[in-house]
Amino acid sequence: MTAPVDPPALTTTPFPNSEKQYLSGALHPQVRVPVRAIHQSATLEMVGSLTRRTSNPTVLVPDTSGPYTDPAVSIDPRRGLPHARPWLATDPCLETQTERFSARLDGAGPMPFPALPLPRRARTGQAITQMQAALRGEITPEMEFVALRENLRQADEFTLTHQHPGQSFGAAIPRVITPEFVRSEVARGRAVIPANINHPELEPTIIGRNFRVKINANLGTSIVTSSIEEEVEKMVWATRWGADTVMDLSTGKYIHQTREWIVRGSPVPIGTVPIYQALEKVSGVAEDLTWEVYRDTLIEQAEQGVDYFTVHAGVRLAHIPLSARRRTGIVSRGGSILAKWCLAHHRENFLYTHFADICEIMAAYDVTFSLGDGLRPGSIEDANDAAQFAELETLGELTRIAWDQGVQTMIEGPGHVPMQLIRENMTRQLEVCQEAPFYTLGPLTTDIAPGYDHITSAIGAAQIAWYGTAMLCYVTPKEHLGLPDRQDVRDGVIAYRIAAHAADLAKGHPGAQARDNALSQARFEFRWEDQFNLALDPEKARELHDESLPADAAKTAHFCSMCGPHFCSMKLSHDLRAGDILAGLEEKAREFREGGSQIYLDRPASEPEEVGA
């Protein structure tokens, strides 16, 4: 890798037949919320010798892809994205530092970010987190942003299409999300808006059980493979396919520099696990970790604009023996690092003992907690064991402390859990952590399919999200086997978008079923292009269709290669529909009236009628 550096090659093509639209704030005019509008073709029907043309509505869907898919915006990764949160620059509660605390690290590596912004933090005495604002009764621009984003439209335009009532297990999902509803959820800690004041490029999103289920994609270098450019491209790629947040889990070289490029170019919240970089600073020797090294790392990362930190403060010295007889021990990187430190020093986890200090730093930048599940089960056998739930109790205790200092908090969860044990996880977490948003990794519902763990875990993720989990951390086909590449990232993101949407439907999230209805209608009417364009992955749908019927004419054909023209049930259904059924009913009605309107008639002697019973 040599400098000066060409910007990474990024995928920026807009989605097919889609238009990026923006919704404007009413309370906060600078708020501009992206949504994707998928246009449909018209339905053509023969009516006698005429063709009737019925237009089909545009379908609005969530859009996490950022300005990359806006043809009106030209992006240079060396300059970072445009600021979706311009109000931060003039916020009087914030002060700009004269230099970066991490200046030494900024230059360390092959690819320094050219246009480093100066960091900001809360002025002394100012309470600047979203939670603190919410508790004061304020509706911040971020709150209005996410309200519009959840509705996908201005509040007064909402119409609920055909949708099955949901079973939300006690969640309280309103029909229209208002900024005031957002404020109230954030105030009570039941939702978080991860939005570091140093991440002005962010298009904010909300994570909580009363909102659409969100998904996270992981990326990051390891010592074995990958590069900064690859990871930036993965971030753009992951958000293109639908990741609501991205975690940078780099453990290789140049962690700090890699992260700068990612945050400056990310339209979604970025999460990290600061203990990884702290460990790199002590040359990989867990026992050499100190509070001071960790504290500095928090500040460096908060200055860059990281929106949430995974902190394994629940890995308590007393809990570690509970994991001694596990089938797969401690599978969390952070958890195993901290456990090693605890035992080496025979002391309580310094993240736990310094928790109030951590809160103070995070509150100054509005970094959100993701309280780590260092003792999560890494095998079916270890599911719901004493180690796991002991940690959960501590996380509940820490949640209260974090809230007292105004720090937004979510709780991480498992792991590997067979289906019959999933519900208990949700029930306990809601109670112990007072409905703080739950953020699970899957869970995987069986261990026997490495190579397919995006599927073993999508099965569990859909269920735990239905029960109330607010965000799902994706799992790719590479889980347990190696670092994911671009294809794995896409497979993982789509599998998790499926799980999240299945949960939204099951919860009865208002409007969620609109996309299913539109796609099924397009399918039934053989509007193939519309069916593809409405799909989560239009390219894959089109590609699989074209494997056996590539010609353009096949896109108007009333069949596909599964059954061919004679056997296509949808084609036959069309033949059945209006004409046959209604005509048949009308004829029978006429026959009835003409026959004297008798309900019972004598059976003709010549025609015995066999019946089934």
Q: Mark the binding-site residues for [4Fe-4S] cluster, compressed into ranges.
A: 560, 563, 568
Q: Tell me whether residue 197 or residue 506 sits nearer to a second copy (CB atom).
A: 506
In the bound state with a second copy, the residue whose beta carbon lies nearer, of 1 and 572, is: 572
Q: In angstroms, what is the minimal distance from the CB of 515 to a second copy? A: 5
Does residue 575 interact with a second copy by CB under 8 A? yes
Q: Who's near 374: CB < 8 A, 6+ residues apart? A: 312, 314, 315, 330, 332, 334, 335, 336, 338, 339, 391
Burial profile 303-317: b = 16 or more Cβ within 10 angstroms, e = fewer: bbbbbbbbbbbbbbb
Could you tell me the smallest distance in angstroms from the CB atom of residue 507 to a second copy? 8
Taking CB under 8 A as the binding criterion, the range among 92-100, 190-198, 429-437, 540-548 that sits at the site for a second copy is 540-548
Give, as ranges, the residues between 30 and 89 that touch a second copy (CB under 8 A): none
> Closest separation between CB of residue 4 and a second copy, Å?
29
Residue 592 within binding range of a second copy, rule CB under 8 A? no
Rounded Cα gap, residues 424 and 299, in angstroms: 37
- The nearest distance, CB 197 to a second copy, in angstroms, is 26
Tell me the C-alpha distance between 461 and 495, whole Å.
10
353 forms part of the interface with a second copy (CB under 8 A):
yes
Q: Does 545 bind a second copy (CB under 8 A)?
A: yes
Q: Which of 91, 517, 555, 558 touches a second copy by CB under 8 A?
A: 517
Q: Which is nearer to a second copy, 94 or 289 (CB)?
A: 289
Please tell me whether residue 549 binds a second copy under the rule CB under 8 A: yes
**Shortest Cβ 219–a second copy spacing (Å):** 12
Q: Does 399 bind a second copy (CB under 8 A)?
A: no
Q: Which residues, numbered 410-429, are part of the site for a second copy (CB under 8 A)?
A: 416, 418-421
User: Does residue 577 bind a second copy (CB under 8 A)?
Assistant: yes
**Mask of contacts with a second copy, 477-506, x by CB under 8 A?**
xx-xxxx-x--------xx-xxx-xxx-xx
Residue at token pair 């809360």? 122
Pick from 392, 465, 332, 364: nearest CA to 120: 364
Angle between helices 386-404 and 422-432 (to 10 degrees): 30
Ramachandran angles phi, psi of 591, nearest 5°: -55, -45
Asked if residue 329 lies in contact with residue 321, where contact means CB atoms within 8 angstroms, the answer is no
Binding of residue 282 to a second copy (CB under 8 A): no
- Extract the runs of DSSP E, i.e. beta strands, from 349-451: 368-371, 409-413, 438-441
Segment interacting with a second copy, rule: CB under 8 A, options 4-12, 79-87, 130-138, 474-482: 474-482
Q: Give the Cα separation of 348 and 248 in Å (integer).
A: 27
Interface map 205-244 toward a second copy (x if CB under 8 A): -----------------xxxx-------------------
Query: Does residue 198 interact with a second copy by CB under 8 A?
Result: no
585 binds a second copy (CB under 8 A): yes
Q: Output the known binding site for Zn(2+).
A: 416, 480
In angstroms, what is the minimal distance from the CB of 610 to a second copy?
5
The residue among 288, 253, 26 whose CA lies nearest residue 157 is 26
Among 286, 299, 407, 433, binds a second copy (CB under 8 A): 286
**Within 10 A of 294 (CB to CB), how many other CB atoms are there?**
22
Q: Residue 369 CB: number of other CB atoms within 10 A?
A: 28
Is 544 among the residues that bind a second copy (CB under 8 A)? yes
Residue 251 touches a second copy, criterion: CB under 8 A:
yes
User: In this structure, is the dihedral angle defined by the CA atoms of residues 181, 185, 191 and 196, taken in order, positive or negative?
Assistant: positive
Among 122, 462, 464, 470, binds a second copy (CB under 8 A): 462
Contact 238, 493 (CB under 8 A): yes
Under rule CB under 8 A, residue 556 binds a second copy: no
- Residue 291 to residue 356: CA distance in whole angstroms: 12
Closer residue to a second copy (CB): 125 or 612: 612
Q: Where are the alpha helices (DSSP H) in 87-188?
A: 103-106, 130-135, 141-151, 179-187
Give per-residue burial for 399-436: e unless 16+ CB within 10 Å, then b. Answer: beebbebbbbbbbbbbbbbbeebbbebbebbbebbbbb
Q: Which stretch binds a second copy (CB under 8 A): 12-20, 123-131, 146-154, 397-405?
A: 397-405
Q: Does 4 bind a second copy (CB under 8 A)?
A: no
User: With binding defined as CB under 8 A, does residue 536 bind a second copy?
Assistant: yes
**Annotated binding site, which residues?**
218, 247, 276, 312, 332-334, 373-376, 412, 416, 439, 480, 560, 563, 568
Q: Is 340 in the site for a second copy (CB under 8 A)?
A: yes
**In terms of DSSP H, where are the helices of 242-385?**
255-264, 274-281, 291-304, 333-345, 350-353, 355-365
Residue 572 makes contact with a second copy by CB under 8 A: yes
Interface positions, 299-328, toward a second copy (CB under 8 A):
313, 320-321, 323-324, 327-328
Chain position carrying tokens 């969390």: 332
Binding to a second copy (CB under 8 A): which residues in 113-152? Answer: none
- Contact pick of 295, 446, 529, 558 for a second copy (by CB under 8 A): 446
**Cα torsion for 410, 424, 317, 355, to the nearest 10°?**
20
Q: Is residue 566 part of the contact set for a second copy (CB under 8 A)?
A: yes
Q: How far is the C-alpha of 337 from the C-alpha of 279, rounded, in Å?
A: 8
